Structure formats: C-alpha cells, structure tokens
Amino acid sequence: MIPYNGDMNLRLLILVTLACVFAGCTAPTAPGEKAGEALPGGWQPCGSERPKVCTMIYDPVCGRRADNRLDDYASPCNACADVNVTAWHPKTCKE
C-alpha cells in the first residue's frame, strides 16, 4: 500500500486537474479548415468538436450564432462551447 502524503497528493491532483482543463479548452478546426485561419472581418471559426471545459479567464468576445444573432461570451472557449455559435470576434459585440 502506498503511504499517504497529503502534500504530494494535492500537487498531483492540481496538476491533473489543470491538464484536463487546458486540454478541454482547445477548439479543434473543422475538416478542411486551417488552424488559426481567420474569416473576413477578423472572425475566428469554431471547430466541429466543441470544448467541454473552459477556464474561468475573462477575455470577452462576440459570438456569431447560426441565425446571425450576436451575443457576448466570457471567452473564445465559452463562445465555441455553445453549439449554435459558428465564429467569434476578439471584441465584445458592442465595440
């Protein structure tokens, strides 16, 4: 049996949690899209696979939904996590 080492277990838990969070925040591109390729007007496309976990870092963006409605989101990750969002812009919708 492995002896309990609270400090080491806590560090391992934090490391694993951070790895899971950052791995879930990537927004893969859809087939045929090049990574990082911007659409006209500075819009960034959301990939076909949506992130399931996003960090709590506040970096507001404007998300364009499939019905062309614009909504503000806390971050690009949060925008692309919404399956109705097709692309995001690095500023809020009101700017």
Model pTM score: 0.59
Would you say 88 and 43 are in contact if contact means Cβ atoms under 8 Å apart?
yes
β-pair partners for 75: none
pLDDT band at 9 (very low <50, low <70, confident <90, very high): low
Q: What confidence tens digit (pLDDT) does each residue in 37-52 have? A: 668 889 999 998 999 9
Which two structure tokens, joined as six digits, stand for 44? Answer: 């960034």
Given the structure tokens 């690095």, which residue do they identify? 90
What mean pLDDT is predicted for residues 72-89? 96
Per-residue buried b or exposed e for 55-74, using 16+ beta carbons within 10 Å of the residue's own CB: beeeebbbbbeeeeeebebe
